[in-house]
Amino acid sequence: MAASDTWQSFPLIEGLKSRRARRFGMGMNIPGGPLEYRSKQRPVPLTEEEQAILTFAACGITGPALNDWNWEKGKGGNVMAGVVGRTVSSSDALQSGAMVVMDDEATYLIRRPADLTTAELRQVQDMVAKNDFVGAYRATRVRIGTERRHPPVASPYNLTGNEWSLHTPGSTYFLPIEDLSYLYINILLEFFNEEMAAFCLDERRFYLPAGLGAFGKSKGGHLDDDPRKLKALPMEFAERLLVETAAIEMGMMLQNLGLVSQALGLGGFPHYTGHDGAWFEALDFRMAEMPISRYFRVPTVSKLVLKLRRQDANFAYPLGLERDGEVLLKPYCPPYYESMEAAVHAVVERKFGQDGIYRGGIGRGGWREPEKVAAGISGISRKAIDATVAFCEYVFRKSGRFPSYLPAYHTQMGFQSVHLDVDFYDEFYDPSVVPEVHRSHMRDWHGR
């Protein structure tokens, strides 16, 4: 086994014990303080193979999702929204989390399973099975920039403590991006069915029904609008559940990047990226703006105060990602759909249309008799679809976007990978903080 292949047999428990955020890379500089240090070495960029392995760790396609659920009608199975698995789990197998990878030469978007044709998907799965991670990396990446595309490193775009280390020459940066619109609509279709029968209230309008009044049981509908039964949720609470679910998927990507960085002998660390406007502007997303009073749905009196003070500035937020006439990231909301009603029906069609995931596309999964399984999977009820449409139309009408509290695309944490400057750690730390796999990396992988 070549030295650069030994990472595949690195012990998992050893990786868990020795995983650390190791920030100081070759060519870096800490300009002051008790750890003031200027690297005496030139930065060494990660190789394409190193980037490919890390990308696989974060979001690699690994084969079929098992979807081993109770698929009886009314038992919740049809909330599942995908039949393909990746290296990280995803709520309801949506796999809606995207990944952007950038270095000194380029910025890439990594295509998700749903972005690939069945033939492309099979090809990538075959490459991964043969440990051809570079091939899989090349097959799934789309160049979206010829250089690093990132916001300024200064506050408020980043925390001050990270400014010295971010986007330095030689580093590779990984940015998870979550599509909240697909995740949201999919779970709403489950929330608003006859079995769960949840209900949503608008906390910004005196806790009145959020477009769902006609669907409440008190009005003869099927949704449980009695707040004493704890099924009537404020919109803010529902969207907080959504964001926390998305953050867990992104967090698993970061954990995998940390563990595999340890196995490779690379430095790396996660850091805060929660400035959606600046990040997506830097990546050249299609953007929109609205006054902050509308973006945050400020009460009428406060809105007037903002206007009088001339503080009601515009707030930028992302819509989608397009390159050369092709839509690479398309949320389930306007302007990519003419209405939220059309967006909801598109999600249903994606799952249960003629070529949907659980109809014509079910062969992408791992079942031995996919057609037999498809025949036993019921679709989504008309009542659930109609209630979801009513709620989503209400959100868009009141907020001017979907979801209400965050844009359709959201990022929270990124991960930067570097070749460590071992001399820095030997200068300030006990030798044990740098394992042998890091000390030998440049020799084993780069012959130096």
2 vs 9, 135, 262, 437, 445, CA distance in Å?
12, 19, 18, 14, 9
The two beta strands, 97-102 and 314-323, are unpaired
Residue-level pLDDT at 110: 98
Answer whether 0.85 is exceeded by the pTM.
yes
Helix, strand, or coil (residue 400): coil
Q: Mean per-residue pLDDT for 8-14?
A: 92
pLDDT in tens, 376-408: 999 999 999 999 999 999 999 999 999 999 999
DSSP letter for each residue of 167-179: T-TT-EEEEEEEE
Both tokens of 448, joined, read: 């130096």
370 vs 86, 126, 261, CA distance in Å?
20, 20, 38
Helix, strand, or coil (residue 19): coil
pLDDT in tens, 89-112: 998 899 999 999 999 999 999 999
pLDDT in tens, 277-336: 899 999 999 999 999 888 888 888 888 888 889 888 998 999 999 999 999 999 999 999
Distance CA 70, CA 80 (A): 11
Distance CA 150, CA 279 (A): 6
pLDDT in tens, 212-270: 999 999 999 999 999 888 899 999 999 999 999 999 999 999 999 999 999 999 999 99
For 10, list phi and psi in degrees, rounded to 5.
Answer: -65, 130
pLDDT in tens, 81-93: 999 999 999 988 9
Residue-level pLDDT at 77: 86
Distance CA 420, CA 26 (A): 6
Both tokens of 384, joined, read: 């659930």
Residue-level pLDDT at 4: 61
pLDDT in tens, 127-180: 999 999 999 999 999 999 999 999 999 888 888 888 999 999 999 999 999 999
Average model confidence (pLDDT) for the chain?
A: 94
